Structure 1
Amino acid sequence: MACSPLEQFAIIQLIPIHIGNLYFSFTNSSPFMPPTISLVLLLVHFVTLNGGHLVPNAWQSFVEMIYDFVPNLVNEQISGASSVKQRFFPLIYVTFTFLSFSNLIGMIPYSFTVTSHFIITPGLPFSPFIGITIVGFQTHGLHFFSFLLPQGVPLPLAPFLVLLELIPHRFRALSLGIRLFANMMAGHSLVKILSGFAWTMLSMGGILYLAQLAPFLIVFALTGLEPGVAIPQAYVFTILLRIYLNDAINLH
């Protein structure tokens, strides 16, 4: 039975590659993440080429809007000196732009949303979370462990509170990945289900043709709302990342 191009692309999800005793898998996520990063870099490069325009065009205004938006969030969420905040601006900026473009590229027909797969999303906050822990130890040394034990706690309760604080701390990175995966996967799954239902209704024909167009109108409406989910998910991800970073720096 013949398959549509989308079905063929969905079937070829794993291409095993063996190099000696090493095993690599080339999945659908692999060809979409490098173009996403390249798109961001090319956009910034061409906008800032020769210093940009004195009167910004649409693309330059878009890049400048993102560049102004992220520092404001860093200043609001991270306490301390301005020099300390600026150290983490590249991390927050790259995270926000990569997630935003990844989510938006997934709206293009026959493309792939890398943030809607659980094999990808836990890895996105994992390395920043390790970096945040390293920053905490560099800033406070062994005193960084004090975040596990609030002040004024009776000594007999200390072991239990340390355990209670350690468990959610270790699951912070996992919760970030699950939240991003669940929201992106839910929206795309709903659009796919309604698209299949709409196509089935139109294939039936009959006198209720206008009524059969209703599922298509719903699909178009949801497709218009999906960018309203893609950008806030990148925003929430980076907001929580900044909160965790602020906790490591200031031991809140």
Structure 2
Amino acid sequence: MYSPLEQFSIISLIPIHFGNFYFSFTNSSLIMLIATGLFLSFFNFVTTNGGRLIPGYKQSLMELLFEFISNLIEEQIGKQGKKFFPLIFTIFSFILICNLIGMIPYSFTVTSHLVITFGLSVSIFIGVTIVGFQKHGLHFFSFLLPPGAPLILAPLLVVLELVSYSFRAISLGVRLFANMMAGHTLVKILAGFGWTMMSVGGIMYAVSLIPMGIVFALTGLELGVACLQAYVFTILTCIYLNDAIHLH
């Protein structure tokens, strides 16, 4: 019997290794390459010749996306966050496209692998920390002690705040990974259950319409989750940048 988790298997397409080090081109690498290619091709196509005065639906979609990310940065970070627009826009677009590609049957969901989402979250965590030190220098450590806190509690509060701050590097990636993996697994289980009932025939064929109907409903829900998780990942990145720039 096929396992619902087989959809997350990493398959080596072009084996590349040097001794004990493996750098194979996998199905995960292929999907990320396709996602990046689609992202660049779409925006290059839309922005060719500076766009149109009266935008078509493609240009309108791009402008809507630009406006959405711009407003998000304005609300969460303020005017100082405008210089981070390319980073935030790229993060949102990349995660969104990868999530949506994963909804195509027989494709691969890149964001369902912890190594990918954890790599993204750790990279963002390191970058945000660097921004904090560039902006405030050693005064950035004041972020670990809430204003107005009693000095007698400082040692305990600093440890708690340091653990909480460091945990951002984990929680940001785990949240995306867990939601995408759980949703795809559930859809696969219900689809397999419904298909098994249909293959039995008789009254079970009619009963199988129930799980298959749930699968279609969950597929629509997963499309919403794919967009929502890209938004959540992006808005949390904005919040972390806001904390690094403005401290408490």
TM-score when normalising by structure 2: 0.92
Unaligned runs of 5+ in 1: none
Letter in 1 for 2:53: L
User: Is the alpha carbon distance of 1:10 and 1:187 closer, same or farther for their aligned partners in structure 2, counting shifts above 3 Å?
Assistant: closer
2:142 to 138, 146, 161: 146
**Secondary structure of 2:105's partner?**
coil
Letter in 2 for 1:224: G
**Secondary structure of 1:120's partner?**
helix
**Percent identity of paired positions between Structure 1 and Structure 2:** 64
Unaligned runs of 5+ in 2: none
* 1:4-83 to 2 correspondences below 5 Å: 13-14=11-12, 17-19=16-18, 22-79=21-78, 82=79
**Secondary structure of 1:95's partner?**
helix
Cα deviation digits, residues 194-232 of structure 1 (max 9, x gap)? 110011011001144332222222211111221110111
Aligned Cα root-mean-square deviation (Å):
2.1
Deviation at 1:183, TM superposition (A): 0.7
Moved more, 192-201 or 48-57: 48-57
**Secondary structure of 1:119's partner?**
helix
User: Counterparts of 1:165 and 1:234 in 2: how far apart (Å)?
Assistant: 26
Deviation at 1:14, TM superposition (A): 4.6
Residue of structure 1 equivalent to 2:90: 94
User: Counterparts of 2:21 and 2:222 in 1: how far apart (Å)?
Assistant: 39
**Secondary structure of 2:81's partner?**
helix
Deviation at 1:12, TM superposition (A): 5.8
User: Is the alpha carbon distance of 1:206 and 1:44 closer, same or farther for their aligned partners in structure 2, counting shifts above 3 Å?
Assistant: same
2:114 counterpart of 1:110: no
User: Counterparts of 1:100 and 1:249 in 2: how far apart (Å)?
Assistant: 26
1:121 to 112, 117, 121: 117
Moved more, 34-43 or 57-66: 57-66
Instruction: Figure out how many residues of one structure are paired with residues of the other and give that number.
Output: 245
Letter in 2 for 1:172: R
**Greater helix percent: which structure?**
2
User: Is the alpha carbon distance of 1:38 and 1:200 closer, same or farther for their aligned partners in structure 2, counting shifts above 3 Å?
Assistant: same
Residue of structure 1 equivalent to 2:239: 243
Deviation at 1:109, TM superposition (A): 0.8
TM-score when normalising by structure 1: 0.90
2:156 counterpart of 1:188: no
User: Is the alpha carbon distance of 1:166 and 1:116 closer, same or farther for their aligned partners in structure 2, counting shifts above 3 Å?
Assistant: same
**Secondary structure of 2:16's partner?**
strand
User: Counterparts of 1:17 and 1:211 in 2: how far apart (Å)?
Assistant: 48
User: Is the alpha carbon distance of 1:164 and 1:18 closer, same or farther for their aligned partners in structure 2, counting shifts above 3 Å?
Assistant: same
User: Is the alpha carbon distance of 1:128 and 1:12 closer, same or farther for their aligned partners in structure 2, counting shifts above 3 Å?
Assistant: closer
Cα deviation digits, residues 26-83 of structure 1 (max 9, x gap)? 443111111101101100011111122232222111111101100000000003xx3x
User: Counterparts of 1:225 and 1:171 in 2: how far apart (Å)?
Assistant: 29
